[in-house]
C-alpha cells in the first residue's frame, strides 16, 4: 500500500504530525514497514512495526520525543507503507530498504563490501582452489569469510605450498600442454599435463578440505609419519617436500589459531562508543581459526545507544551474507530474539545471538572490544587532522567554507593506447574509495595521447551526469544520486586547467572551485605550482602541511589512474605486470614469485627485500621497485 500527503501547518512539527495523522484512519494494526519522506521526495527514515497503526501514531505526540525524532517529524511531508505477514518479515524488509535507500535518520552500515572466501570447486573433474567474492552460486565448498583480500591472498599463497592444487581457470587447464610457473615453484601438482594421478590429486583435495574445516592435527600427524617413512627409505627429496608442507601448515596456524574450545563457527561483534561515534569490530572465527577482523563505523545520531547500533548493524550486515551458527555481541540487543529468528529463517538453520559473561568466550569478546576502542581512537584522531587540513585548503583557495568533498582527476596512457581517466574522492573522513570512478576514453576522434582532450571528455561525462541526476545540488538522503564536489583538483598545469575551465563554462558550472596542481622544475616533489583562473600560479613552502596534504591527493589519483591503465593493458595482452619490466625473464620471474607469491607481493616488497633475491642486482631491484612506485 503506498500513499502520500503534503500539508502546511502552523509549526514544522505540527505540520509533520498532521501529515502522519491523516494516515492513521486507514492504517492496519498489523506488521509492516513505513517510510517517512521530505519535501524533496527523499527518504528520511525507514522503520518496521509489529503494529503499524500504534507505531506510527507515536510520532504525532511531541512529549517524550528526542530532538532527532522531533526534527524528523518536522521534515515529514509524505509517508509510504508496506504491510507484511509477520514482524520477522518486516524486520528483513526494513534491513534491505535501509541498505538500499540509506535514509539520513537511520543507523546505516556504510562499509558493506562483500567478504572474500576460499573456494574449492566441485564443478570440474579436477578441483580448483581460488578466491571468491559475491554470490555463492558456483558448486563447491566455501571457507571463510576472511576479513580482507590481503588475508585470503596470504593464506592462499601459503596454502598452495601446503596443498598444491590448481588455481587456473578451466579454460587455461584445458589448453595447457606443459606445466605452468606455479608447478615450477611447487604451488601446483600440474594435473593439467598428468604429473599427478587423479586418485593422488583427490587425496590432496580431501586433505585441503579437512584442513580448512579445522582438522589440521590429524593431517599434521599423517604428514609427519609420511616424512619419517620417506627419510627412513632415504628418499630425502620427498622428505624435504613433506617437511616444507609441515612448515607451511605451522605458518598458517601460527597466524590464525586462537584456541577456542568446542567452537565450530562464530562471529564476535563488539561495539565501542566515544564522542558520538561508534566502532563495530567483527571477528570471524571458523573451526577455531581466526580468519581476521574488520572495523565498521555505522552512521547514526549521537544519542544512539550501543545496543541500538548493534541491533541495526546486525540486521544489515547479514542481509546479503550467510550468518554463522553463533553470534557473540558485546551489548544486549533490544530485539535480539526477533533478529535471531529472522536470521534463522533466512539461513535455514538455528542462529544463536548471545552476550557471554565469563570464561574464554568473554575473553574473546573483551579482545574485540579492545580492538574496537583502539580503532575508534585512531579514526577520531585521523578525522580531527583531516578537518584541519580541509580548513587550511579552504583558506588557501579562498573558499567560503572548508570543502566537504574534494574530487581529483588524472589520465593515464602509453603512447596513446589504453587511455583511461580516473577520479578519486576525499572528505572529512579521508579517502572515500567507494566513490572512486574509472573512465575508459571513448572519443574515437581524439588524437592518441591528447591529455587535454581526455580531461575534457572525463569532466564532461562526470558533470553532465551530475547535472542530470542532481540539478539542484541538494544531494540525496537516499544515497542513490551522485554528490557535487566543492573542490576539483586537476593533475596538471595551465593547459589542463584551461581544458577543465572550458568544460565548466560550457556546462555553466560556477560554484565549484577548480585548481590545477603541477610538478615543479624537473618534476621535483615539494616544488609544485598551483593554477587558478584569474590569478598567477603560486607555490607553497616545501614543508607546508597543506602542501603535503594536496600532494597526497594528487599522488592518490595518479596511482589510481596508473593502476587502472595497467590493469586494462594487462588484460588486453594477457600478461603479468612482471612481464613488462625490462630485464625480467623466466628465471628471475620465477625467483620473484617464489619469494613474494604474486605480482602484487612483488609490488608491495621493500627495495631491500628485492635486493636480497639471488640473481637480482641492486640496479635491477631499483628498476623493479621504480616500475611499481615511480610516477610515470
- Whether residue 523 is predicted with pLDDT greater than 60 in this model: the reply is no
Can you tell me the distance from the alpha carbon of 20 to that of 62, in angstroms, rounded to the nearest whole number?
13
- Ordered alpha helix ranges (H), 31-164: 52-57, 67-75, 87-101, 149-162
Give the model's pLDDT for residue 257.
44
Dihedral over Cα of 538, 539, 544, 549: its sign: positive
Quick: pLDDT tens for 166-193. 999 888 898 888 888 888 888 899 999 9
**Cβ atoms of residues 339 and 329 within 8 Å:** no
pLDDT band at residue 590 using 50, 70 and 90 as cut-offs: confident
**Cβ atoms of residues 475 and 394 within 8 Å:** no
Task: Tell which wins on pLDDT, 57 or 574.
Answer: 57
Give the model's pLDDT for residue 46.
94
- Whether residue 3 is predicted with pLDDT greater than 50 in this model: the reply is no
Give the model's pLDDT for residue 530.
94
Give the model's pLDDT for residue 480.
38
Give the model's pLDDT for residue 498.
93
Dihedral of CA atoms 551, 553, 558, 563 in degrees, nearest 10, equals 130
Give the model's pLDDT for residue 521.
59
Give the model's pLDDT for residue 354.
94
Task: Characterize 175-199 residue by residue with b for buried, 16 or more Cβ atoms within 10 angstroms of its Cβ, and e for exposed.
Answer: ebeebbebbbbebbbbbbeeebeee
Can you tell me the distance from the alpha carbon of 232 to that of 240, in angstroms, rounded to the nearest whole number?
13
Give the model's pLDDT for residue 4.
44
**Cβ atoms of residues 500 and 455 within 8 Å:** yes
User: Mean pLDDT over all residues of the chain?
Assistant: 83
Task: Tell which wins on pLDDT, 407 or 224.
Answer: 407
pLDDT band at residue 260 using 50, 70 and 90 as cut-offs: low
Give the model's pLDDT for residue 43.
92
What is the pLDDT averaged over residues 575-604?
78
Strand order in the sheet with 117-121: 129-132, 117-121, 140-143
Most confident of 200-214, 364-378, 480-494, 563-577: 364-378
Cell 576522434, residue?
Answer: 445
The C-alpha cell that represents 242 in the structure block: 613433506
What is the pLDDT averaged over residues 312-331?
90
Quick: pLDDT tens for 444-455. 677 776 788 889
- Whether residue 152 is predicted with pLDDT greater than 90 in this model: the reply is no
Give the model's pLDDT for residue 5.
43
What angle separates helix 87-101 from helix 306-317, to the nearest 10 degrees?
90
What is the pLDDT averaged over residues 413-420?
65
Residue 64: count other Cβ atoms within 10 Å of its Cβ. 7
What is the pLDDT averaged over residues 570-580?
64
Give the model's pLDDT for residue 569.
63
**Cβ atoms of residues 163 and 134 within 8 Å:** no
- Whether residue 297 is predicted with pLDDT greater than 60 in this model: the reply is yes
Task: Tell which wins on pLDDT, 143 or 443.
Answer: 143
- Whether residue 514 is predicted with pLDDT greater than 60 in this model: the reply is yes
Q: Which distant-in-sequence residues (6+ apart) come within 8 Å of 241 by Cβ? A: 186
Task: Tell which wins on pLDDT, 502 or 625.
Answer: 502
- Give the gyration radius of the chain's Cα atoms: 29
Give the model's pLDDT for residue 631.
44
Q: Which distant-in-sequence residues (6+ apart) come within 8 Å of 593 by Cβ? A: 181, 185, 578, 599, 602
pLDDT band at residue 632 using 50, 70 and 90 as cut-offs: very low
Give the model's pLDDT for residue 57.
93
Can you tell me the distance from the alpha carbon of 451 to that of 467, in angstroms, rounded to the nearest whole number?
24
Can you tell me the distance from the alpha carbon of 564 to that of 397, in angstroms, rounded to the nearest whole number?
30
The answer to which of 106-115, 310-319, 487-496 has the lowest mean pLDDT is 106-115
What is the pLDDT averaged over residues 288-312?
87
Q: Which residue from 208, 569, 540 is spatially nearest to 412, judged by alpha carbons? A: 569
Can you tell me the distance from the alpha carbon of 256 to that of 259, in angstroms, rounded to the nearest whole number?
9
Residue 81: count other Cβ atoms within 10 Å of its Cβ. 18
Task: Tell which wins on pLDDT, 549 or 471.
Answer: 549
Q: Peptide bond preceding 22: is omega within 30 degrees of 0, i.e. cis?
A: no
User: How far from chain centre, in Å, is Cα 15?
Assistant: 41
Cell 581476521, residue?
Answer: 292
What is the pLDDT averaged over residues 17-30?
90
Can you tell me the distance from the alpha carbon of 52 to that of 30, in angstroms, rounded to the nearest whole number?
6
In terms of Cβ atoms closer than 10 Å to its own Cβ (0-12, 13-18, 19+), residue 117 is buried
Task: Tell which wins on pLDDT, 215 or 58.
Answer: 58
Dihedral over Cα of 325, 329, 332, 336: its sign: negative
Quick: pLDDT tens for 533-560. 988 999 898 878 899 899 989 988 888 8
- Domains identified in the chain and CATH numbers: 12-101 (3.40.1440.10), 265-378 (3.30.420.340), 406-567 (3.30.420.340), 575-629 (1.10.150.20)
DSSP 289: E
Give the model's pLDDT for residue 453.
87
Cell 611499481, residue?
Answer: 628
Give the model's pLDDT for residue 479.
41
- Whether residue 2 is predicted with pLDDT greater than 70 in this model: the reply is no
Q: Which residue from 580, 631, 562 is spatially nearest to 420, judged by alpha carbons? A: 562
Give the model's pLDDT for residue 383.
82
Give the model's pLDDT for residue 570.
60
User: How far from chain centre, in Å, is Cα 53?
Assistant: 39
Q: What percent of the chain has pLDDT over 70?
A: 88
pLDDT band at residue 429 using 50, 70 and 90 as cut-offs: confident
The answer to which of 127-131, 177-181, 579-583, 610-614 has the lowest mean pLDDT is 579-583
The answer to which of 99-103, 194-198, 471-475, 539-543 has the lowest mean pLDDT is 471-475
In terms of Cβ atoms closer than 10 Å to its own Cβ (0-12, 13-18, 19+), residue 381 is exposed
Amino acid at each position: 500500500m503506498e500513499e502520500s500527503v503534503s500539508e502546511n501547518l502552523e509549526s514544522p512539527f505540527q505540520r509533520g504530525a498532521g501529515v502522519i495523522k491523516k494516515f492513521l484512519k486507514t492504517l492496519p494494526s498489523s506488521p509492516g514497514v513505513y517510510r517517512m519522506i521530505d519535501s524533496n521526495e527523499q527518504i528520511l527514515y525507514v522503520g518496521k512495526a509489529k503494529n503499524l497503526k500504534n507505531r506510527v501514531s507515536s510520532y504525532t505526540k511531541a512529549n517524550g520525543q528526542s530532538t532527532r525524532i522531533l526534527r524528523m517529524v518536522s521534515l515529514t511531508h509524505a509517508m509510504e507503507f508496506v504491510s507484511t505477514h509477520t514482524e520477522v518479515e518486516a524486520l528483513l524488509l526494513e534491513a534491505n530498504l535501509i541498505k538500499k535507500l540509506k535514509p539520513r535518520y537511520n543507523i546505516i552500515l556504510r562499509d558493506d563490501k562483500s567478504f572474500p572466501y576460499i573456494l574449492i570447486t566441485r564443478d570440474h573433474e579436477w578441483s580448483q582452489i581460488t578466491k571468491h567474492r559475491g554470490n555463492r552460486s558456483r558448486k563447491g565448498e566455501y571457507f571463510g569469510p576472511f576479513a580482507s583480500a590481503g588475508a585470503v591472498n596470504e593464506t592462499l599463497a601459503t596454502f598452495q605450498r601446503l596443498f598444491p592444487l590448481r588455481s587456473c581457470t578451466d579454460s587455461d587447464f584445458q589448453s595447457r600442454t606443459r606445466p605452468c610457473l606455479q608447478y615450477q615453484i611447487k604451488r601446483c601438482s600440474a594435473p593439467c599435463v598428468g604429473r599427478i594421478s587423479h586418485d593422488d590429486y583427490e587425496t590432496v583435495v580431501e586433505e585441503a578440505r579437512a584442513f580448512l574445516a579445522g582438522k589440521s592435527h590429524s593431517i599434521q600427524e599423517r604428514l609427519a609419519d609420511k616424512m619419517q617413512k620417506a627419510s627412513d627409505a632415504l628418499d630425502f627429496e620427498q622428505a624435504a617436500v613433506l617437511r616444507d608442507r609441515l612448515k607451511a601448515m605451522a605458518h598458517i596456524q601460527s597466524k590464525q589459531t586462537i584456541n577456542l574450545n568446542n567452537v565450530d563457527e562464530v562471529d564476535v561483534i563488539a561495539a565501542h562508543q566515544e564522542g558520538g561515534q561508534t566502532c563495530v569490530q567483527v571477528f570471524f572465527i571458523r573451526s577455531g581459526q581466526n580468519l581476521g577482523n574488520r572495523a565498521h563505523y555505522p552512521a547514526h545520531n549521537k544519542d544512539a545507544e550501543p545496543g541500538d547500533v548493534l541491533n541495526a548493524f546486525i540486521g544489515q550486515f547479514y542481509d546479503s551474507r550467510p550468518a554463522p551458527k553463533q553470534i557473540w555481541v558485546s551489548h544486549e540487543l533490544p530485539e535480539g530474539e526477533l533478529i535471531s529468528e529472522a536470521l534463522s529463517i533466512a539461513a535455514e538453520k538455528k542462529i544463536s545471538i548471545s552476550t557471554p559473561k565469563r570464561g574464554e568466550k568473554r575473553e574473546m569478546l573483551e579482545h574485540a572490544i579492545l580492538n574496537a576502542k583502539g580503532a575508534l581512537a585512531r579514526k577520531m584522531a585521523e578525522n580531527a587532522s583531516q578537518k584541519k587540513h580541509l580548513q587550511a585548503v579552504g583558506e588557501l583557495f579562498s573558499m567560503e567554507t572548508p570543502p566537504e568533498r574534494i574530487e581529483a582527476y588524472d589520465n593515464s596512457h602509453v603512447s596513446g593506447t589504453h587511455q583511461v581517466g580516473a577520479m578519486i574522492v576525499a572528505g572529512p573522513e579521508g579517502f572515500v574509495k567507494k566513490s572512486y570512478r574509472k573512465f575508459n576514453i571513448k572519443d574515437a576522434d581524439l588524437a592518441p595521447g591528447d591529455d587535454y582532450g581526455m580531461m575534457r571528455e572525463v569532466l564532461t561525462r562526470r558533470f553532465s551526469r551530475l547535472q542530470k541526476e542532481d540539478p539542484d545540488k541538494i544531494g540525496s538522503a537516499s544515497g542513490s544520486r551522485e554528490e557535487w564536489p566543492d573542490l576539483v583538483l586537476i593533475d596538471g598545469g595551465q593547459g589542463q586547467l584551461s581544458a577543465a575551465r572550458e568544460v565548466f563554462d560550457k556546462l555553466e558550472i560556477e560554484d565549484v572551485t577548480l585548481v590545477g596542481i603541477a610538478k615543479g622544475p624537473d618534476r621535483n616533489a615539494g616544488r609544485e605550482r598551483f593554477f587558478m583562473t584569474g590569478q598567477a600560479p603560486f607555490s607553497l613552502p616545501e614543508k607546508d602541511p597543506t602542501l603535503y596534504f594536496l600532494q597526497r591527493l594528487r599522488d592518490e589519483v595518479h596511482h589510481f589512474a596508473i593502476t587502472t591503465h595497467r590493469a586494462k593493458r594487462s588484460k588486453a595482452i594477457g600478461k603479468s605486470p612482471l612481464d613488462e619490466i625490462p630485464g625480467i625473464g623466466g628465471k628471475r620471474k620465477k625467483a620473484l614469485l617464489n619469494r613474494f607469491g604474486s605480482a602484487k607481493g612483488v609490488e608491495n616488497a621493500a627495495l631491500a627485500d628485492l635486493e636480497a633475491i639471488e640473481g637480482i642486482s641492486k640496479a635491477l631491484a631499483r628498476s623493479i621497485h621504480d616500475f611499481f612506485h615511480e610516477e610515470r
